[in-house]
Amino acid sequence: MKILNIILILTFIYSCDKKTAKEQKNKITKNEIVKPAFQTIIDTHNVHGAILIYNLNKDLFYANDFKWAKTGRLPASTFKIPNSMIALETKVVDNDSTLFKWNGEKRAYKVWEQDLILKDAFKYSCVPCYQEIARKIGKKRMNAYLEKLNYLNMVVNSENLDLFWLEGASKINQFEQIDFLKRFYKSELKISKRTEAIMRKILFIEKNEKYSLYGKTGLSVRNKQQNGWFVGYAQSKENTLFFATNISPKETTDIKGFPKLRKEITLKALELIE
C-alpha cells in the first residue's frame, strides 16, 4: 500500500512539473508574433536578416524570423551603449562633453579625424575613441561592470580589450539587445541617475510628430561578410516600441548603400506597429 501511495505521489509531482514546464513555455512563446510584412521589408531591401520589435504596452514581440533574432552575433558599435555607461560610472569620462583629442593620424573615416566630444564620438561611432575608453576602463573593471549590468556573453581579456566587441567570440542576440535597452528605459540597471540622464542625451537621434527616436547602429565584418545592427526605442506619449534590427547583405546587395539600410528598414517596420 505504501509503495502504491509513493508511486501515485511521484506520478502527481511529475504531471505537475510537466504542466508547469508547458505553461512556462507557453508564457515565453505566446507573446511572439510572426510579422510577414517585416519579411517583405527585408526582401525589398535585398538583404538577409530579422527585424525584432517589442511593444511595451502589449508585452508583444514582432519579428519576421525569430530564429535569426535569437542567434548571437558580435555587438559591433551597439556596444558603445554599455561602454559609455561604464566609462561614466568609472569616471573614465566626466560627461557627454568629455573631449577626445585626435592624434593627427589617418583614420578609417574623415569624420573621425578631428577632436570629438563623447556625444559626437558616439554619434559618429568613432572606434579609436571607444578603444581608448576601453583601455582606460581596463579588463578587470570591464568584466565586473558587464556582470553588474547583466550584459553577458562578452569575451574580454588583456589581448582583446579594445576589440572584443568588433571581432572574436563575443555575441549578443536581438532579444538580449532589447532586454538591455528595456532595463535601461525602466531604470533597472545598476547605474546612477546621472549616468542615466547623460545616456538618454547620447542615445537621442531625432524627434518627429509620432515619437522620439533613441538608438545606436553597429557594423562588423567577419570572413568578408558584413553584419549590421540598429537597436533602440521609439518613445511616444502613449507607448514605447523597442527594436533590434540585424541584417547582412546578399551577394547582389549594393555594399556602399548597405549601412543606411539598417535605420531605413527599422523605421519602415515601426510604421506597421500600432
pLDDT tens-digit readout, 72-89: 999 999 999 999 999 999
Nearest to 225 by CA among 249, 209, 261: 249
pLDDT tens-digit readout, 103-144: 999 999 999 999 999 999 999 999 999 999 999 999 999 999
3-state SS assignment for residue 228: strand
Q: Mark whether 84 is an active-site residue.
A: no
pTM of the model as a whole:
0.88
DSSP labels for 126-158?
A: -HHHHHHHHHHH-HHHHHHHHHHTT-------T
pLDDT tens-digit readout, 168-198: 999 999 999 999 999 999 999 999 999 999 9
Per the residue annotation, which of 15, 77, 125, 192 is the catalytic one?
77
pLDDT tens-digit readout, 37-64: 999 999 999 999 999 999 999 999 999 9
- In the chain, where are the structural domains located? 1-30, 31-270
| Topology of domain 31-270, CATH | Beta-lactamase (3.40.710)
Average pLDDT over residues 230-253: 98
Confidence of residue 224 (pLDDT cuts 50, 70, 90): confident
